[in-house]
Structure 1
């Protein structure tokens, strides 16, 4: 509905989408191509398709995807980043500034819901298949929730240190970051602890120039003292959580046996599936039924293994060499753009926020599937747009500068 409204409204500046728009278009085209029926002779030449053969199968035209219904669902899910990118490029400058506050409010609301769950209030989200008793906020998965909170730490630091921001934002952002980090400890997410630590370091890095401006009139020891005090306060509360047996993430990291984790136990099966379907892939969205076809007896249990919990491996399984090529292009662009935006003297820019947000998503994707979640998908689209926007602004300014010279 939003896309239709956008198409009939004022024309969006499609060029502002840049590389994120091209990567999204490539992803849509790739998934769509997996749904095109192929002649029987061509389809049978694809790797490991014989398992679907049967009487009269030689006359049936089939798509590349082994589970076409799931691939249609994967294709339809891409409406989320499409809408986000279209709306984002249509925003005026003042609306974009308010967007940071809106995102921070969303993260804060989810954190409060997570604390309600932790207190035993019994809140259950009716729109997701979450696990009762698990602290996952507005998400179905505690790892996704922990990543969302870590992203909130980055957003809070830039929101508080933007040019012209009121001074009260700094202590407010510090309080929010403390809330988000402590909430991560209650989720039980081991990966979330790592993401929280990385987010804290990146938040301090992005806000260092703003902190220097604030403490410029004071003694030289004031800034180190403030940073040290903030670290000690955080360490105190973390220690308090551990002593009160409330740091569930730390408890799981210490007590859970890595060999019992399905990520480890199912890895050999996932690698075997990748080998079977490479270089074409088995089709996006169909991991669950595909895994059940190859699941060994020693992995059978009452719950199902819905994803590989390593999105790099699952992308290789779903889309083969073409998907890996598209992923490689996107990561190469992220790396080159990240180097450029971090070379600038001024920290805390919106482009650096996009760079660091994408870094957290890339780290989380090694042990989970965060970008398959609509909210993280939307934030990833925004982060990509923010990372690429500064280059376009700089490029637009060059002719004017040359003309002045």
Structure 2
């Protein structure tokens, strides 16, 4: 039901924006708009009916052809068309996000890090409510009772959201010339809160993304902190860094001692979900080989996996995704999806290289966008966060930050 509400709200927002006369400036979005358009066209292309002579040439279609009665009908590229239609429908969220971002002015775009940080903080409060033992069953999300997942159905997604908060906080603290004297301690408190909440989620991938986010956050704010201590004694800055690291380490140790660091505990235990991903990997790889280079169609993993699922993997719950989005994209979209993915990664690497070589005082948002996308890429090796609406929107925001910064750097050269 959450998908119905989210997509309906996205369509309603798009209609209102058009009626209000908000004209999108696609030039501002750069390559992001073209990549999103290519992704949408690829999904829609899988829904185009193909004649039987063409459809039978696609790999893995033999068993479905044999089950047909009478003359073979025209069929789409996607083996499970309704699932691919659902995948195409989900892209309304990033499309509307791109539309709205293209009509914002510079002052409005500079407020986005603070808004995103506020969203992470409110989500953290709900997660802490669950951690304290209070039951919260999301009416629109099929979450797991007793899991610290906040507004998400998956603890790994919540942990990634918290890691993004750890990355955004330092940039928000030192952006602009006003409010730095109070923003810096608030940002430090938020990073500490987010880090401890990641430990409470029980997400092992969250530990990796959280550490990566904190490390990148220190890189982002290192120059600003040094500048703030330019008139202080030389020993003040290293003492501050040591104190920050010591406080965070102490709080982590206290959480472990109080048996509140669920992520640390699960790191030394055999997790049934992780075991299922490991045992299901050979089947996923076999499916990729059977349907490559055409793929099975976006959104079709669940019904297609049931066809290949061995008896040894049968259980009361179902294996909804490959829990490795790179492999699932390859399975769903085949060679065309692989090419598009490589093009997108190539653009990301090129734009990130420009952003990280430039002056952080002017291109902080570009680096922030690069860092957020890196966190999502890392998390996608273990799960499927980019398939959720909120991360679809965040990916578009981060990509536009990165793309605009890289374009300005290229123009200045």
Structures share a fold, TM > 0.5? yes
2:8 aligns with none
Aligned: 1:144 with 2:157: yes
- In the alignment, the residues of structure 1 paired with residue 112 and residue 13 of structure 2 have an alpha-carbon distance, to the nearest angstrom, of 18
1:168 aligns with 182
Aligned: 1:386 with 2:401: yes
- In the alignment, the residues of structure 2 paired with residue 61 and residue 278 of structure 1 have an alpha-carbon distance, to the nearest angstrom, of 21
2:6 aligns with none
- Among 367, 375, 392, the alignment partner of 1:360 is 375
Equivalent residues of 2:87, 2:298 under 8 A apart: yes
1:253 aligns with 267
Aligned: 1:43 with 2:55: yes
TM-score relative to the length of structure 1: 0.95
Shift, 1:58, TM fit = 3.7
- In the alignment, the residues of structure 1 paired with residue 360 and residue 99 of structure 2 have an alpha-carbon distance, to the nearest angstrom, of 29
Shift, 1:377, TM fit = 1.0
Aligned: 1:229 with 2:243: yes
- Among 334, 355, 361, the alignment partner of 1:341 is 355
- In the alignment, the residues of structure 1 paired with residue 411 and residue 402 of structure 2 have an alpha-carbon distance, to the nearest angstrom, of 16
Q: Residue deviations 1:219-277, cap 9 Å, x none? A: 11212111111110000000000000000000000112689611101000000000000
Equivalent residues of 2:301, 2:322 under 8 A apart: yes
2:16 aligns with 5
Structure 1 gaps, min length 5:
399-405
Alpha-carbon RMSD across the aligned residues, in angstroms, is 1.5
Over 3 Å counting, the alpha-carbon distance change for 1:200 and 1:43 in structure 2 is same
2:309 aligns with 295
- In the alignment, the residues of structure 1 paired with residue 73 and residue 107 of structure 2 have an alpha-carbon distance, to the nearest angstrom, of 56
Shift, 1:294, TM fit = 0.3
Aligned: 1:30 with 2:42: yes
- In the alignment, the residues of structure 2 paired with residue 162 and residue 201 of structure 1 have an alpha-carbon distance, to the nearest angstrom, of 18
Q: Residue deviations 1:299-351, cap 9 Å, x none? A: 00101000000000000000001101101011111111111111123357000
Shift, 1:392, TM fit = 3.2
Q: Report SS of the residue matched to 1:255.
A: coil
Over 3 Å counting, the alpha-carbon distance change for 1:97 and 1:260 in structure 2 is closer
Structure 2 gaps, min length 5:
1-11
Aligned: 1:327 with 2:341: yes
Over 3 Å counting, the alpha-carbon distance change for 1:15 and 1:174 in structure 2 is same
Q: Report SS of the residue matched to 2:75.
A: coil
- Among 71, 74, 98, the alignment partner of 2:84 is 71
Equivalent residues of 1:67, 1:286 under 8 A apart: yes
- In the alignment, the residues of structure 1 paired with residue 97 and residue 338 of structure 2 have an alpha-carbon distance, to the nearest angstrom, of 24
Aligned: 1:100 with 2:90: no
Equivalent residues of 2:366, 2:404 under 8 A apart: yes
Shift, 1:56, TM fit = 3.0
2:103 aligns with 90
Equivalent residues of 1:40, 1:58 under 8 A apart: no
- Among 207, 212, 218, the alignment partner of 2:232 is 218
Shift, 1:79, TM fit = 0.5
